Amino acid sequence: MKELIDKEIGRVVEVNGERALVELTVDTTVPLVGDYYPGQPGSHVKIPFGGHNVIGIVTSVREEGYPSGSGRKDSGRKVADCVLIGTLFSGGNFVRGVAVYPNIGQQVRMVSSVELKKIFSEFVDYDYSFGRPAQAEDQRAYVQADRFFGHHIAVLGTTGCGKTCTVVSILQQAIKKYPDTHIIVLDLHGEYAPAFSEEKVLVIRADELELPYWLLNFNEFCDLAVDPNELTSKNQITVLRDALVRARQGCVSEETAGIIKSITVDSPIYFPLDDLVKQIRNWNIQMVSDSNGKIVPGPLYGVFDRFLIRFESKATDPRFRFMFAPTSYTDNKSLPKLLKDYLSIDTGKRMAIIDLSGIPSEVVGVVVAVVSRVAFEFNQWNPDRTRFPILLVYEEAHNYVPRRTDGVPLAAKSAVERVTKEGRKYGIGTIIVSQRPNELSETVLSQCNTFIAMRLTNPDDQSYVRRLVPDSLARLMNMLPALRIGEALILGDSVAMPTRVLIDCPDPKPMSSDVEFAKWWANGVKELDVKRVVKRWRARQRDL
Angle at 327 between CA 321 and CA 329, to 5 degrees: 105
Provide the pairing of β-strand 52-64 with 77-88: antiparallel
Report the distance separating Cα 88 and Cα 90, nearest Å: 7
Q: Are strands 287-289 and 390-394 parallel, antiparallel or unpaired?
A: unpaired
CB 287 within 8 A of CB 281: no
Greatest mean pLDDT among 109-113, 361-365, 439-443 lies in: 439-443
User: 470: which residues sit within 8 A by CB, 6+ positions away?
Assistant: none
Most confident range, picked from 3-12, 176-185, 472-481: 176-185
Q: CB–CB of 182/342 below 8 Å?
A: no
pLDDT on residue 537: 84
pLDDT band at 73 (very low <50, low <70, confident <90, very high): low
Q: Is the pLDDT of residue 75 over 70?
A: no
3-state DSSP of 327-349: CCCCCHHHHHHHHHHHHCCCCCC
Whether residue 1 is predicted with pLDDT greater than 80 in this model: the reply is: no
Give 352's contacts (C-beta < 8 A, 6+ positions apart).
183, 184, 185, 201, 202, 203, 204, 341, 342, 343, 344
Provide the sign of the torsion angle of the four alpha carbons 458, 462, 464, 468, taken in this order: positive
Q: What is the pTM of this model?
A: 0.88
Band (pLDDT 50/70/90 cuts) for residue 70 is low
Angle formed by the axes of helices 361-380 and 218-225, nearest 10° = 180
Q: How far apart are CA 112 and CA 53, in angstroms?
A: 12
User: Which pLDDT value is given to residue 97?
Assistant: 86
Nearest Cα to 170, choosing from 145, 133, 138? 145
Once rounded to an integer, what is the mean pLDDT over residues 161-184?
A: 96
| pLDDT at residue 455 in the model | 95
Q: So what's the pLDDT on residue 2?
A: 55
Share of the chain above pLDDT 90, in %: 57
Reading phi first (left if > 0) and then psi (alpha if -120 to 50, else beta), residue 189 is in alpha
> How many angstroms separate the CA atoms of 57 and 197, rounded?
40
What are the Cα distances from residue 80, in Å, to 55, 68, 529? 14, 19, 60
Q: Are strands 77-88 and 94-96 parallel, antiparallel or unpaired?
A: antiparallel
Domains and CATH numbers, the chain: 8-120 (2.40.30), 145-212+355-511 (3.40.50.300), 218-315 (no CATH)
- Res 409: pLDDT: 64
For residues 513 and 492, what is the distance between their CA atoms, to the nearest angstrom?
29
Task: For residue 16, list its beta bridge partners.
Answer: 19
Rounded percentage of the chain residues whose pLDDT exceeds 70: 95
What's the pLDDT at 49? 84
Q: Please, which residues bridge with residue 474 across strands?
A: none
Q: What is the mean pLDDT of the chain?
A: 89
List CB contacts of 72: < 8 A, sequence separation 6 or more.
Answer: 66
> Does residue 359 have a pLDDT over 90?
no
pLDDT at 74 over 70: no
Q: What is the pLDDT averaged over residues 196-218?
A: 92
CA distance to 215, 267, 268, 334, per residue, from 273 (Å): 12, 15, 14, 16
Instruction: Decide: 508 and 194 in contact? Cβ < 8 Å.
Output: yes
With bands split at pLDDT 50, 70 and 90, how would you rate the model's confidence at 363? confident
Beta-bridged to residue 451, according to DSSP, are 154, 491
Position 3 scores a pLDDT of 63
* pLDDT band at residue 217 using 50, 70 and 90 as cut-offs: very high
Q: Which residue has the higher pLDDT, 504 or 407?
A: 504
Nearest to 16 by CA among 514, 541, 472, 499: 472
Q: For residue range 222-258, what is the model confidence (pLDDT) as tens digits?
A: 888 888 888 888 999 999 999 999 999 888 777 777 7
Handedness of CA 204, 207, 208, 211 (dihedral sign): positive
Strand 44-49 and strand 19-24: the pairing is unpaired
Reported as a single tens digit per residue, the pLDDT across 321-342 is 899 999 999 998 999 999 999 9
Report residue 374 CA to chain centroid gap. 18
Q: Which residue has the higher pLDDT, 388 or 409?
A: 388
In this model, does residue 424 exceed pLDDT 70?
yes
